[in-house]
């Protein structure tokens, strides 16, 4: 059921502390942790504690939580000292966009030049 923890979801297991992660921030609704395959010096994932397959499903069901994730992205950027230099926030939604873990999550990337278009 949407919103409920999924036994086979890596990110649900991180929320439950069943799988280790380097957690950098946590709120009532979110957990932020370092990506295990960083694409920039700062690469932090912010996930909701509730399970939704992707950002679109989360936004439709619980818009306040997606707002919490976006608010936390600024806090992560400040904590990581990339706020003033610039940082990127990315939701990959669907396999065709590069989503590999089907639990909504936001990437916060910074600490190097990030060209456009990405790729």
Q: How far is residue 29's CA from residue 8's CA, in Å, rounded to a whole number?
A: 20
Q: Do the beta carbons of residue 86 and residue 109 sit within 8 Å?
A: no
Which of the residues 43, 103, 105, 107 is marked catalytic?
105
Joined together, the tokens standing for residue 40 give 């920039």
107: annotated active-site residue = no
Query: What are the helix (H) ranges across 1-119?
Result: 10-15, 55-61, 63-79
Which residues neighbour 91 within 8 Å (Cβ) at sequence distance 6 or greater? 54, 55, 104, 105, 106, 107
Catalytic residue positions? 105
């Amino acid at each position: 059921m949407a919103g409920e923890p999924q036994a086979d979801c890596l990110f649900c297991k991180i929320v439950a502390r069943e799988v280790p992660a380097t957690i950098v921030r946590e709120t009532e609704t979110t957990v932020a942790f370092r990506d295990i395959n960083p694409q920039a010096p700062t690469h932090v994932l912010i996930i909701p504690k509730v399970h939704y397959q992707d950002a679109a499903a989360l936004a439709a069901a619980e818009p306040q939580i997606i707002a919490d994730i976006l608010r936390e992205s600024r806090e992560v950027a400040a904590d990581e000292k990339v706020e003033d230099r610039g940082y990127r926030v990315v939701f990959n939604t669907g396999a065709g966009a590069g989503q590999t873990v089907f639990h909504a999550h936001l990437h916060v990337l910074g600490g190097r030049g990030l060209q456009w278009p990405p790729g």
